[in-house]
Amino acid sequence: MADSTCALPGLDPAPADSVAASRVAGYEIEDELRAAPSGRGRPIRIAGVDEVGRGAWAGPVVVCAAVTDLSPPPVLQGRGKRVIGLTDSKLLTEDHRESFAEVLPGWLAGHAVAASGPEEIDEVGMTEALRRAAVRALESLPVPPDVVILDGKHDFLSRPWRVRCEVKADQRSVTVAAASVLAKVHRDRLMAELDGVHPGYGFADSAGYPSPTHQKALEEFGPTPHHRMSWSYLDDLPRWRHLKKHRDPMAGEGQLSLL
C-alpha cells in the first residue's frame, strides 16, 4: 500500500470476516470511502479498476477504469423471475456479460479502457505494462478520481494515486464489477477478431490463454505477432525456443535480448 493512503482515511482494507457472502456487487467499499473525512469539501470521486489478460500467452492486457454516480446499478432479467445482478465478469455467462456491456456505458458517470500490447509486455514486464495500461485508462476519465479501488492484494499503481486494494473487489464493489465486465468484453471481442486473422489458435474460445488447441497450433505454426515472446511457454516449444526474448536484469527494466 502506498504511503499516500495515510492522507485519506478509509483506504485500509476491511477485515476478512466482514466480507459479504453475496456475490452480487454492492457499494460496500464505496460507502466506507465516502464516509471517511476527505477534507475536500465535496463528495469523493471513486474509480474502480480491473484488468483481464494478465496470464494469457497472446494478446494485450486490458484495463478498464469506471466511475459510477452511486445510483442503483442495472440488472438483467433471467429465466422466470430471476434477476441477474452486476458482479465479477468471471461469474457471469458470456451472454450476460455482453448484455451488461451494452447498458453499462450509458449508466456509468465515466469509463475508459486501455491496454498494453505484447511488445510492451515483453519490453517492460507484466507489472509495469499493467501499471501503464491502468494509468492510461485513469487519465482518460472525464474527471480524475480521488481514490482508486483495485481488485486484489497488490497496489501496482502506487503514487501519485491513492489506492485501496481489496480481494474480490469485483464481487463487492459495483464500480470494480463494472470495470471487470467492460474490460473482459473488450478483450474477448479483440481476441475474436484476431481469431479470424490467425485461425487455428483458438483465440475466439480461449482468448489467448493456454488451451490444448492453442498449444497444438504453437507447436505446428509457431507464435504469431500477437504472442508474448518473453513468456515461458516458448521453453516447451523446441522448434521455436530460439525466438524467446529475455530481459537483461543487469541492464535495467525494458532491455531485451535474444539468447
Contact 41, 161 (CB under 8 A): no
Binding residues: 50-51, 151
Contact 137, 206 (CB under 8 A): no
- Whose cell is 484495463? That residue is 63
Q: How many angstroms separate the CA atoms of 213 and 248, rounded?
A: 32
Neighbours of 202 (CB within 10 A): 20
| Interacting residues of 173 by C-beta distance below 8 A, sequence separation 6+ | 25, 26, 27, 28, 29, 30, 48, 149, 166
Q: How many angstroms separate the CA atoms of 101 and 103, rounded?
A: 6
One DSSP character per residue, 184-251 reads HHHHHHHHHHHHHHSTTS-HHHHTTS--HHHHHHHHHH---TTB-TTSGGGGG-TTTGGG-EEE-TTT
Binding residues for a divalent metal cation: 50-51, 151
